[in-house]
Structure 1
Amino acid sequence: MIGGRTVVDVHVHAPRLSTLRPAWLDWADTFSRDHDWRSAYRENGDPEPAALDALFAEQGVDHVMLFSEYSPRATGIQPFDDLLPLVQHNPQRFHPVANINPHLHFPLVGELQRQVDLGAVALKLHPVHAGFDPGDRELFPVYAKCAELGIPVIYHSGTSSFPGSRNKYGNPELYLDAIDCFPEVNFVFAHGGRGWWYEAAAFLVQAKPNVWIDLAGLPPKKLPDYYGASLPRIASKMLFGTDWPGVPGPRTNVDALGRLGFDEATLAAVVAGNASRVFPRAGITLETSTSTRKETTDE
């Protein structure tokens, strides 16, 4: 907890380092300024479950959505199965997120079901790194399966600086057919349209009840610049996420969110309440401590 509030980080990467392209490691080392992310790793480059658990506990994060990714052209192949030792160490904190790539997996629904059977609480698609159109009808059976399973779909929306990225696929407009055809599925715009499409992402969040934004990779102090007059209207549909390890630190970002002037209900929704709705399979229990929040405010 931070400031007496449950905290959920909906966007975390903790892969085995041997599965990554060099640009990923450069990115992580460049942006993790307030904490030593490598302290959670063994000498062989594998994450150490107890150390990673302790790191997020110290940072005040109660629930962590762990991402996998099959993007050999950009960041590497980060297999879903590599997440399982972390989840087994502390299933109350760590929740794995499925990932599929239509260039690599067939049949797509079968691979999604396999990962869900192993504990996945959501599906992440990365059209920008994997190089595919998220509106392709080949993916519609996947969206239908997500509707059946009651899991959300997380899209990378916006640009990426990794070599090999296909940034044209980050346009939120490409996801509109799926959003309209599957209104029972919650769709989360990871990175909130970062770069060229903040306005488009903000519009869709307001227009579509099943669209949300996760704040991964977005410095909280810059949200007013990114979203302008739309920020007060879309704040209630934002989810806290860091893009760890490429972030100063979860606690630093939560503290920065607290300085934006959101009312208590909105702030509590952003850091945990919305995640409890969007990720029902994670079993997120919301807890608050009035005394802790008062002590934090008085500091």
Structure 2
Amino acid sequence: MIIDTHVHAGEYYRHYSARFAQQMTATTDLAPEDLSAPEAKLLAEMDAAGVDRVFLLAFDVRRVEGFSVPNEFVADLCARHPDRLTGFASVDAGTPGAAERLSEAVTDLGLRGLKTAPCYLRMSPADRRWYDVYETASDLGIPVLIHTGYTPSRQADPRFFSPLLVEQVARDFPDLTVILAHLGTPWTGPCVELLARHANLYADLSIFGSYQSLPTVAKALAHARGSGVLDRLLWGTDFPFASMTGSVTRMAELARDPGPWPDDSPPLSPREYEALMGGTAARLLASAAPHAAPAPRPNR
């Protein structure tokens, strides 16, 4: 099974602001209008890439960016395609009632994880305002995906880019499963070492694995292998910011070709490749049992 663990729901104009879309695509070959993942486009991309399931992310940044991809929107999509889509809620700890909104998203809407965007919200992931949210996530048994690393959004606060800010969270919530997005790019080395210090931490390869050179990706994977945490890395793309088909092709090359790899490190073994591309993600999902199975609502 292939699972993309970092996929954005939402559609340009309907959810994202033009300003945000322009900033986020400025350093890519994408047009702002490409920052859109309508239902048909998402499913077609999954089929073309051979992706069985995705973690589909809500995105609550209304307080700073002026927009959100709502939990209800993601839940509706997931209810229509429960065999393909696993929804992650999003809440903003800078607004009152965030923990309660998370609980409702899981128990009432059937979402099975939490996506947070601390730097976009101009607050640290270790800000104590998040702690009620983390406590609720821990009680619900769901994983928390935290944005770490650089973002081109000009409203985001670069003081909160570093993945090392999550270390205090890992210490204070040792039973909470936390996924660090983007392998903390460009702090990929410190991110790997952070995982080695805390067994409850995972990281996804979204953006990093899709755009960095294959030798750069192979070097990071070799570092993770040597640190004993390769089995806690998750393949992801950040679609629609990156192509699933292109990323699957790149990862297959890293399992086949020794060329990109450091001299002392072989390509991904079949077991490593299977775990990275979906096995580890499936294990995380199995440990986060669904709390509700809402009926699908009409497409709108």
Same fold per superposition (TM over 0.5): yes
User: Unaligned stretches of 5+ in structure 2?
Assistant: 255-266, 291-300
Q: 1:279 aligns with which of 285, 291, 299?
A: 285
**Alpha-carbon distance between aligned partners in 1 of 2:248 and 2:45, rounded to the nearest angstrom:** 15
What is the RMSD of the two structures over their aligned residues, measured on CA atoms? 2.4
Is the Cα contact below 8 Å between 1:131 and 1:166 reproduced in 2? yes
Q: 1:202 aligns with which of 149, 167, 192?
A: 192
**Alpha-carbon distance between aligned partners in 1 of 2:197 and 2:134, rounded to the nearest angstrom:** 20
Is the Cα contact below 8 Å between 1:223 and 1:231 reproduced in 2? no
What displacement does 1:81 show?
A: 1.3
Does the residue aligned with 1:184 lie in a helix, a strand or coil? coil
Say yes or no: does 1:255 pair with 2:246.
no
Aligned residue in 1 for 2:217: 223
Say yes or no: does 1:244 pair with 2:239.
yes
Letter in 1 for 2:245: R
Q: How does 1:98-247 map to 2 (within 5 A)?
A: 98-104=89-95, 106-117=96-107, 118-195=109-186, 197-219=187-209, 221=214, 222-225=216-219, 227=220, 230-233=223-226, 234-247=229-242
Is the Cα contact below 8 Å between 1:70 and 1:101 reproduced in 2? yes
What displacement does 1:64 show?
A: 1.0
Is the Cα contact below 8 Å between 1:50 and 1:89 reproduced in 2? no
Say yes or no: does 1:10 pair with 2:5.
yes
User: Unaligned stretches of 5+ in structure 1?
Assistant: 1-5, 42-46, 284-299
- Give a deviation string over 1:1-59, Cα, whole Å, max 9, x none: xxxxx1101111121322212244344597477xx968x86xxxxx2x34532331222
- TM-score (normalizing by structure 1): 0.80
Letter in 2 for 1:258: A
**Alpha-carbon distance between aligned partners in 1 of 2:238 and 2:112, rounded to the nearest angstrom:** 18
**Alpha-carbon distance between aligned partners in 1 of 2:27 and 2:34, rounded to the nearest angstrom:** 11
Q: How does 1:282-297 map to 2 (within 5 A)?
A: none
Letter in 2 for 1:253: S
Say yes or no: does 1:91 pair with 2:82.
yes
Number of equivalences: 265
Say yes or no: does 1:265 pair with 2:271.
yes
- Give a deviation string over 1:239-293, Cα, whole Å, max 9, x none: 011000011x21221221122210011110011111012233478xxxxxxxxxx
Does the residue aligned with 2:240 lie in a helix, a strand or coil? coil
Letter in 2 for 1:210: N
Does the residue aligned with 1:19 lie in a helix, a strand or coil? coil
**Alpha-carbon distance between aligned partners in 1 of 2:55 and 2:221, rounded to the nearest angstrom:** 28
- TM-score (normalizing by structure 2): 0.80
**Alpha-carbon distance between aligned partners in 1 of 2:183 and 2:66, rounded to the nearest angstrom:** 20
**Alpha-carbon distance between aligned partners in 2 of 1:188 and 1:24, rounded to the nearest angstrom:** 24
**Alpha-carbon distance between aligned partners in 2 of 1:193 and 1:23, rounded to the nearest angstrom:** 24
**Alpha-carbon distance between aligned partners in 2 of 1:239 and 1:185, rounded to the nearest angstrom:** 17
Q: 1:122 to 1:228 in 2, by over 3 A?
A: closer
Q: 2:60 aligns with which of 70, 75, 86?
A: 70
Q: 1:219 to 1:32 in 2, by over 3 A?
A: farther
- Larger deviation, residues 172-181 vs 204-213: 172-181
Q: How does 1:46-57 map to 2 (within 5 A)?
A: 47=38, 49-57=39-47
What displacement does 1:143 show?
A: 1.5
Q: 1:198 to 1:74 in 2, by over 3 A?
A: farther
**Alpha-carbon distance between aligned partners in 2 of 1:162 and 1:80, rounded to the nearest angstrom:** 22
Is the Cα contact below 8 Å between 1:214 and 1:240 reproduced in 2? yes
Q: 1:228 to 1:255 in 2, by over 3 A?
A: closer
